[in-house]
Amino acid sequence: MTESRIFQPNTHYYSPRLLKKLGGILYVPVTVIEAPSGYGKTTAVQDYLKNTLPKGVPVHWWNAEEDAPTAYWTALCKEFMSIDPMVGKELLSLGFPKPMSAWEIGKLIGSLSCDAQTVLVLDDFHFLQKVLSRNVMSALLSYAGKKLHLVIITQTVRPFPLSYFEQKDIHYIRTEDLRLNSEDIRQYCRLCGISVSKEEAGKIYEYTEGWIAAVYLTVLQMQRDEGIVPGLSLIQLMENIVWKNMSAQGKNLFFHISLFPSVSIEHICFLLQTVPLPEAVFTLLEETPFVRYEAEKHQYVPHAVLREMLLRRLKAADIQTRNRCYGRAGAWFAKTGDILYALECFYKICDYEAIFSLPLTGMTLARIGGIPFTQMAERLIWDCPTAIKQKYPIALLRIAYAFISANSREQAVMLLEEIKGYIGRMEKSDDQKALLGEWILISAFLHFPDIQKMEPAIREAAEQIGGRCRTLTAEEPFAFGLPLMIFFHRTPGKLDEEMQALSSVIQRLSVLTGVKIGADVLFQAESALFRGNFSKAERLSYKAAYIAEGSRQWTVRMGTVNLMAQLAMKRGNNSDLSQYMNELEKSVDKEDAICPFVAQMLQTDYYMWLGLTELIPQSVRRGRSEFVDAPSWVRVYLGYFHIGILLQEADYNRLLGTAEAAIMECREEGYLMVEIYMCLIAAMGYYQTEHREKAFSYVKEALDKSKPDGIYLPFMEFKSVLGGLVEKAFYEQNEKMPEEIAESGQIIGDNWKLLIRLSSESNVLPYGLTEREMEVATLAAKGMSNKEISSVLYITEATVKFHLRTVFSKLGIDRRSKLSRLLE
């Protein structure tokens, strides 16, 4: 936000649609203006009448207050007397309406008349409305005089429904007419002397929902550089309007509701544990300001500021209230499958039994209230009493699996030892045997990615379990989200044995989970690719894709798409490469937190080798994951990207300084294929800086690790740019370079150059955004919230956040407010 001139806080702004509505006051007998406090009802009427009323038209203004209704009724009768002396005098003589006099008073009100156009404003009428009989209220609302125009300003029109106003042809101005939209907010701010972007205006609307008092206070906060989120003054205003006069029943209801952005009747019944819902609850929902009912969705939606106020109140509430509200909310989330939200609720009240009763699967990179699941789980394991933990060995094993995924092996080993003790103390039975099998199954992943060590353990686990396992489900991403099965290759000369080991593992996991995964076929396809047999790789890739389509394993589906894209790149087929890139993008819309991150890394691989490094997000360019709990394969893959990008950008000093450490890390983790490529990238760096001997040593090292398994693809890719060093390495080993390297290497090199040229000439989206990233960015630039974007694009809020982080990185910005200017 930038200041354009001195801030003018007393500026009044009214939207065109409100001014049009106010213009009807002199054309109807009765106008009702209904909205909660802070919507500027009184000010809007005052300004309109002052600025547009024909000269000479008298305005009578009457105000009610909360106390002494009889006195204010008397004052109203005197206003009537000043307009129609005879009727006003009779009304005054009858006194405050009672059941016996209400009918007569109503009749007199209906007979009010005057000779000239006159306006009578009944302000804050809700205070008197509460004690007036329905007959009197009906008479006021049904008034049909020709020249007297009643303007009733109130916070509620209950008990009269909207249909009543439509039948009586009453001019009705409601909250929606007074609310400012995001463009109105920009206009209002401009009149106040400040400038806000579309993004900032959208953010203000998201928090205030156009409530003018909240908009005003938010703009003041922005002037003081306090941000857009609801500040103390805004919360206090909401407390005075809503909380101060709320009954104990109302507070209990809204405490429960506060944990949700919207609630249905079924939802409320569940939270309050009552069916059917008492009429008093409906009354509270309808009478409480700042709660709107969305008829299409059949949901009640509390205002954002109201929710913020309620959440703060709930945080300060007594422990019984907190436990009750968070417990019921967690139970609802668990019932509807929102496990992460359920976890967050149960964790806040330390309900360990409830936490361990949840299906704690798919937790790789999961966030609970903004913190990694593994961080929360570490505290959970420490704090939870042993008597509770030993009742939930399956939940504990799932947490141990999450620790392994996050590369927190020390915590995993400690927890596994603890679980083994619990199982050992059980009575001998088939259940104990099966649990021991589950323990062996999870422990096997401590050896990841050494598939040859994993295989005998998983085989033993399958025999012990004797059927379906309970720890790993069909939805659990295989190998912690790893889409490249070639990463299981870790020992020179053992590739075929590693493929057999993975086939054995997949066969047993299919029995244990009930799902055919296809990862073993993908491994065979990738091995064929790296051995230079493109036709075999393509056939096996289609087979793996077919198997994966029948499962819920996005890792294998993504891996097959990646392999087909690799083949297209080797063949110089730009159209197929674009198609597979789009297919990769489509696979992002998943619930698994790691899935969009994996897709981004695979895209980075293409961008890097096509020389489109400007399209790669900064977080990936740095070579370090923004997720501290990322699996080991992620860290190694990012290190590979980092030195590859340094090569493409000719930053040789940094490349050579980084490569040795990256290769060592890769070697320690056991990812041989990545190590081979890193050696060749390092060789390129030394070759470009005229250190041929050092470059040659890295080429030889890569060849020593590749040749035993016939892995020649890396040398096909690098042969044409290493100035004869590949040929020399074969010669020194007294071997002739295989024909496939000599021939295919030149073809791949030529195709690579062609693709780079085509990519640079192609009509790409601005800043290298993908189609989905552009969609998300465009909607965000229009001021839409993450929730609204997720609804429009049918993707999760987590996926929206992920895409926005990528967009910010590609555009070099740090906030949504800058999107609209860049995308115009």
CA angle centred on 434, ends 430 and 435, rounded to 5°: 115
Q: From the centroid of its chain, how far is CA 481?
A: 20
Q: Interhelix angle for 672-688 vs 632-648, to 10°?
A: 20
Select from 225, 221, 224 the least CA-distant residue to 233.
221
For residue 805, name the pLDDT band (cuts at 50, 70, 90). Answer: confident
- Give the pLDDT confidence score for residue 5 in this predicted structure: 43
In whole angstroms, give the CA distance from residue 402 to residue 232: 39
Select from 346, 350, 370 the least CA-distant residue to 358.
346
Which CATH number is 16-178 given?
3.40.50
Burial 389-413 (b: 16+ CB within 10 A, else e): bbebbbbbbbbbbbbbbbbbeebbe
Between strands 30-34 and 171-173, the pairing is parallel
Q: What is the pTM of this model?
A: 0.78
Q: pLDDT tens, 605-656?
A: 877 777 777 777 777 777 777 788 889 999 899 888 888 888 888 898 999 9
Q: Interhelix angle for 739-761 vs 554-571, to 10°?
A: 100
Q: pLDDT tens, 255-311?
A: 999 999 999 999 999 999 998 989 889 888 888 888 888 878 889 999 888 998 999
- Give the pLDDT confidence score for residue 295 in this predicted structure: 78
CA atoms within 13 A on the CB side of 420: 11
Distances (CA, A) of 760 to 523, 649, 755, 774: 32, 15, 8, 19
- Give the pLDDT confidence score for residue 335 in this predicted structure: 94
- Give the pLDDT confidence score for residue 756 in this predicted structure: 44
Question: What topology does CATH give the domain 766-823?
Answer: Arc Repressor Mutant, subunit A (1.10.10)
Count of residues making up the chain: 824
In degrees and rounded to multiples of 5, residue 785 shows phi and psi of -80, 165
CA angle centred on 110, ends 106 and 115, rounded to 5°: 145
Asked if residues 439 and 416 have their Cβ atoms less than 8 Å apart, the reply is yes
Select from 120, 114, 150 the least CA-distant residue to 30.
150
The percentage of the chain sitting over the pLDDT mark of 70, rounded to a whole number, equals 89
In degrees and rounded to multiples of 5, residue 300 shows phi and psi of -95, 135
* Architecture (CATH level 2) of domain 480-761: Alpha Horseshoe (1.25)
Asked if residues 400 and 363 have their Cβ atoms less than 8 Å apart, the reply is no
Question: Tokens 């057999």 belong to which residue?
Answer: 500
Q: Which of 189-203, 412-426, 583-597, 735-749 has the lowest mean pLDDT?
A: 735-749
Q: For the chain, which residues make up each domain, given as ranges? A: 16-178, 182-229, 386-472, 480-761, 766-823
